[in-house]
């Protein structure tokens, strides 16, 4: 049988209604194939995303570790569309350095190609994974690209669309407003929960169910007035726009799902100081929620300096050091091999990016290293 058909059988099954694995098992058992080519009818469109334990921001290098969180979207019908998730992993399981880094195949079906893509995008937004790096945001970014949506594809797609590599995108336009609205709503829900705590000190109880708040998404600032109950919150933005938000989300859940102005929306949510991180539609941002005075003070805080790693070689992925090609004190020219790190059945050769002198070796052959572990230092 064609290898591609075996690997991508979920897509074929979704548009034909034929369980290919069952048919292969029956044939292997000696039974006659139960259908002819004329019996195979195509219906609708299917899109498959391979969820991988890899880091797209580091040229798709594999990632290993424990699946601290693994919450795929609910399978089944979504209106006229269908979501299916084929996987063999579980929450608490380990992604090791010894096997292929694929976690799941997320497949969506719909009557039209665009509907299948839109359903795939929402399903990716609702797919929560923690503990390892993964490619969900990269896949969600693709779902929003016009070239992908129009089907103008080639084997050079990634190199052509991301010539400088993939980087997490800051939210813009409608997506930014949706993310800001959800950040306002999450803060409002958490504050209402705090108001319900019993035996609060007199004079300190927060009783107002309305509040003026400021949300920052990176460098973008949104001012808003928040009001309403848990399942019906209204945000009046400073520019005059009013957005309604409705959700059954509660604190601690890794995925926020609900309606923003009546449209179904899903976002990844992780708690940080004074807010949450949000991932939605391929965009990522730290959403800080402040009172107006807190926002004024936060704007005065100095930016944190980025650490200088130009004089170190960091392990780009969790892996095993197979070879060290240099010694302390050795002068190395740009492009020369420094070491080999093995991870997930692949040997990765790490080379010098410029002329350097090795001052110290921090690892030896046979060591198992975590991502960003210092392998050697330079002068």
pLDDT tens sequence across 6-55: 357 899 999 999 999 999 999 999 999 999 999 999 999 999 999 999 99
- Chain Cα centroid distance, residue 261: 24
Average pLDDT, the chain: 91
Q: What is the mean pLDDT of residues 113-125?
A: 97
Nearest-Å Rg of the Cα atoms of the chain is 25
Which string of DSSP letters, residue by residue, matches 218-282? Answer: TTEEEEEEEEEETTEEEEEETTS-EEEEEE---TT-SEEEEEETTEEEEEEEEEETTEEEEEETT
Q: Residue 68 carries which DSSP code?
A: S
Q: Residue 356 carries which DSSP code?
A: E
Domain 312-378 fold is OB fold (Dihydrolipoamide Acetyltransferase, E2P) (2.40.50)
Calculate the alpha carbon distances from 9 to 2, 48, 105 in Å.
11, 10, 10
Calculate the alpha carbon distances from 281 to 120, 168, 175, 212 in Å.
11, 11, 7, 27
Q: Please say whether the structural domain 44-161 has been given the CATH code 3.30.470.20.
A: yes
Mention every residue, 6+ apart, whose C-beta is less than 8 A from residue 163: none
Instruction: Look at residue 74 and tell me whether its pLDDT is greater than 50.
Output: yes
Instruction: Look at residue 2 and tell me whether its pLDDT is greater than 70.
Output: no
Instruction: Look at residue 162 and tell me whether its pLDDT is greater than 70.
Output: yes
Catalogue the active-site residues.
4
As its CATH architecture, domain 173-298 has 2-Layer Sandwich (3.30)
Instruction: Look at residue 4 and tell me whether its pLDDT is greater than 50.
Output: no
Ranges of CATH 2.40.50.100 domains, the chain: 312-378
Ranges of CATH 3.30.470.20 domains, the chain: 44-161
Q: What is the mean pLDDT of residues 242-256?
A: 94
3-state secondary structure (DSSP) of residue 311: coil
76-78, strands of its sheet edge to edge: 45-52, 102-110, 81-87, 76-78
In 3D space, the residue among 325, 372, 330 whose CA is nearest the CA of residue 347 turns out to be 325
Calculate the alpha carbon distances from 90 to 69, 95, 314 in Å.
9, 10, 30
The region of weakest confidence among 37-51, 100-114, 230-244, 319-333 is 230-244
By percentage, how much of the chain surpasses pLDDT 90? 76
Ranges of CATH 3.30.700.30 domains, the chain: 173-298
Tell me whether residue 370 is exposed, middle or buried, using C-beta atoms within 10 angstroms of its C-beta: 0 to 12, 13 to 18, 19 or more: exposed
Return the pLDDT at 100.
83
Return the pLDDT at 307.
78
């Amino acid at each position: 049988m064609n290898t591609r058909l075996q690997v991508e059988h979920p897509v074929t099954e979704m548009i034909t209604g034929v369980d290919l694995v069952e048919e292969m098992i029956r044939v292997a058992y000696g039974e006659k194939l139960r259908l002819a080519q004329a019996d195979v009818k195509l219906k609708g469109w299917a899109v498959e995303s391979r969820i991988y334990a890899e880091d797209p921001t580091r040229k798709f290098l594999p990632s290993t570790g424990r699946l601290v969180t693994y919450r795929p979207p609910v399978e089944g019908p979504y209106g006229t569309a269908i979501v299916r998730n084929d996987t063999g992993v579980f929450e608490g399981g380990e992604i090791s350095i010894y096997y292929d880094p694929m976690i799941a195949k997320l497949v969506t079906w719909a009557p039209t190609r665009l509907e299948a893509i839109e359903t795939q995008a929402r399903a990716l937004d609702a797919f929560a994974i923690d503990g390892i790096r993964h490619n969900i945001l990269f896949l969600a970014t693709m779902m929003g690209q016009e070239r992908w949506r129009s089907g103008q594809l080639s084997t050079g797609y990634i190199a052509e669309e991301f010539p400088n590599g993939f980087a997490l995108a800051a939210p813009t336009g409608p997506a930014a407003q949706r993310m800001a609205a959800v950040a306002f709503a999450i803060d409002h829900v958490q504050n209402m929960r705090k108001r319900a705590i019993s035996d609060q000190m007199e004079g300190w109880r927060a009783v107002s169910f309305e509040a003026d708040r400021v949300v920052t998404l990176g460098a973008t600032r949104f001012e808003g007035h928040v009001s309403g109950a848990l399942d019906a919150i209204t945000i009046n933005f400073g520019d005059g726009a009013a957005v309604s938000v409705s959700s059954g989300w509660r604190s601690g859940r890794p995925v926020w799902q609900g309606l923003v102005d009546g449209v179904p929306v899903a976002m990844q949510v992780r708690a940080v100081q004074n807010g949450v991180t949000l991932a939605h539609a391929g965009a990522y941002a730290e959403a800080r929620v402040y009172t107006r005075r807190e926002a004024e003070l936060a704007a005065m805080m100095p930016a944190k300096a980025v650490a200088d790693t130009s004089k170190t070689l960091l392990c780009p992925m969790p892996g095993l050091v197979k070879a060290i090609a240099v010694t302390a004190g050795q002068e190395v020219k740009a492009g020369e091999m420094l070491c080999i790190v093995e991870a997930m059945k692949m040997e990765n050769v790490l080379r010098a990016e410029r002329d350097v002198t090795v001052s110290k070796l921090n690892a030896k052959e046979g060591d198992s290293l975590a991502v960003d572990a210092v392998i050697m230092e330079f002068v």
